[in-house]
Structure 1
Amino acid sequence: MDELLFVDSTFEKDNTSRYILSIQLSLDGFSFTVLNGNKKCIVLNRFSPFLKNGDKNPIASFVELVRNHELLNLDFKQITVLWVSNKILILPEEFFSEEFAFESFQLSHDLKTEDSLLWNKIPELNAWGVFSIPTCITDFIHSHFANVKLYHHSLPFFSLALKEKLPDGHPQVFLNVQNDFFHVIIPDRKGKHFINTFTYNTDSDLAYYILNIFKQQNLNNERSKLIIDGAVQEESKVVQLLKKYLGQVEVKLLPLEFRINGSIPHKEYNQFINLLNLSKCE
């Protein structure tokens, strides 16, 4: 199990019915974590990329990896899967219905015939997050795992950003960075939150979008704080670039209560922040 970043000494393979298994999944690969009863991370699996060739598509690779992984065939108290994608639509509660979700989603995103449409309630927004996922993935997940729940990976990001105390004066900007896209939210006291998702190719593209958001939203570059999490480190090029133009840039780290292995640097957890924070939203 070389893909395991660590397994804590307290982990009991024969007693996993007490634990929570959380999987972070995309079309590129997956990672997972096991939390104990106190929601501390006791197993952390580093990102396992899917094989991409003519004989094995990403979905078939996921199925094979799960079936052959010893830990992923054990019984757990709770199982959650976080689907990583830039395709999400936020629908206010008062407008939500299954029919309207399908109609609205297709105005913003391509909904393929082989995809299913799912939705998660986001209480802090009084809204629903609507997202698509390949049907064959959901079928396998439900057949392999008992009592599994599926979420869009942005749910813990939006939920926790909205639980932060709003500062007096200048708004804060929250950013969740993935490999080729990012989510952004600017909480507002009156509930008129700015929420969007952007794709990017380079660090310069990412920095440009962020600076343009500051400009379009009339934010003060020195007073409004930018809080970044996800697939980014303090020493990342984009962070250093943004610090040249913005007065307050913070790379948000995973809360200490989740970390049970003190030998693993904070930055090793950054890519798993939505995965581990999900337990705070359930």
Structure 2
Amino acid sequence: MIIKDITEDTLVKKYTNTYELSILIGVDSFDYMVLDGQQQVLALKTFGLQNETGSHLAAVEAAFQAEKFLHQPFRNIRVGFVSGRNTLLPQRLYDENENEAYLRQITELLPGEAARADALPVLSLYNVYAAALDEITLARRLFPGCRIFHITTALLEGLRHLAVQQERRSIFAHLKDGMLFVVLFEGKELLFANAFPYQAAKDFIYFILLVFQQFGLQPESQTLHLSGQLLPDSEIYREALRYIRNLEFVPAPAFFKFGPRISQEPHYLYFGLLSLSLCT
């Protein structure tokens, strides 16, 4: 099911080999964005996956097969996966041979899973996460030559550009496919990053206030920056406003450019895709 489909007139299909493609795959979603070499967003499309066969992989492949535009060659392709099972390691302590050991401290690897790691050199961190091997195989088959990232890697890349503009601690909450990603920066320094599953507004505010309490943040004065699957008239937003005085939706990082159609969209809704395009 197509949820959003926006294409600028400046997109030229025969020039896709000069464009960059970012794809974000979640439990219930398949989203993609196309940029040119000047960071101009040319196309944005979001799908709700139709999981009629009970197979997530089949639903992803069906979305790909129906979207003929994605069969074109692209200059760069990034694929991001949404999950909450990851841990961050300081670069100085990281050993690429110990990924499974790092993960076992927080979770069990399931059959058919492997431990992967993304480098975050600017933050001097590695993001180690559990990845389903069949999903990785599918991504590489559908998008040969693609680079694969975890959503937390993408969010940290995007949010650090916003955090350095703040004069004090800045806390961010991103919502995607039933997961709440909470990130706290103090200037350039990352203080906290974690993911929580949620089902209702009370779950959302519980986890947010838990982080506020842990770091001594004051709900009366600390701004909570929001992005992802959230609308101002939602129950989650109204519940958050009961406890936290200042709520703000995040802007897109300044170096992105938007045409007349995509400019009309709230950019915070697609912050995950924008951030994914920054991964290297």
User: TM-score if structure 2 supplies the norm length?
Assistant: 0.88
Give the deviation of 1:166 after TM superposition.
6.3
Alignment partner, residue 80 of structure 1: 78
Note the alpha carbon deviations across 1:42-80, whole angstroms, 9 max, x for none: 121122313233xx5111222233234211111111111
Taking every aligned residue pair, what percent have the same amino acid on both sides?
Answer: 21
Matches within 5 A, 1:1-282: 5-53=5-53, 56-163=54-161, 164-165=163-164, 167-168=166-167, 171-188=169-186, 191=189, 193-255=191-253, 257-262=256-261, 265-267=264-266, 269-282=267-280
- Aligned in 2, Cα 1:209/1:144: closer, same or farther, shift over 3 Å? closer
The one-letter code matched in structure 2 to 1:266 is: E
2:243 alignment partner, SS class: coil
Instruction: Determine the C-alpha separation between the residues in 1 that align with 2:110 and 2:152.
Output: 21
CA RMSD of aligned residues (A): 2.4
The one-letter code matched in structure 1 to 2:81 is: W
Note the alpha carbon deviations across 1:15-45, whole angstroms, 9 max, x for none: 2111111111023231111112222221211
More strand by share: 2
1:116 alignment partner, SS class: strand
Instruction: Determine the C-alpha separation between the residues in 1 that align with 2:72 and 2:45.
Output: 15
Instruction: Determine the C-alpha separation between the residues in 2 that align with 1:151 and 1:190.
Output: 22
- Aligned in 2, Cα 1:6/1:222: closer, same or farther, shift over 3 Å? same
**Would the aligned equivalents of 2:171 and 2:223 in 1 still touch at CA under 8 Å?**
yes
Which runs of no fewer than 5 residues in structure 2 stay unpaired? none
1:108 alignment partner, SS class: coil
- Aligned in 2, Cα 1:166/1:14: closer, same or farther, shift over 3 Å? closer
Give the deviation of 1:137 after TM superposition.
1.8
**Would the aligned equivalents of 2:23 and 2:33 in 1 still touch at CA under 8 Å?**
yes
Instruction: Determine the C-alpha separation between the residues in 2 that align with 1:115 and 1:96.
Output: 20
User: TM-score if structure 1 supplies the norm length?
Assistant: 0.88
Instruction: Determine the C-alpha separation between the residues in 2 that align with 1:191 and 1:21.
Output: 29
* Bigger Cα displacement from structure 2, 229-238 vs 13-22: 229-238
Q: Which has the higher contact order (CA 8 A, sep 6+)?
A: 2
- Aligned in 2, Cα 1:104/1:9: closer, same or farther, shift over 3 Å? same
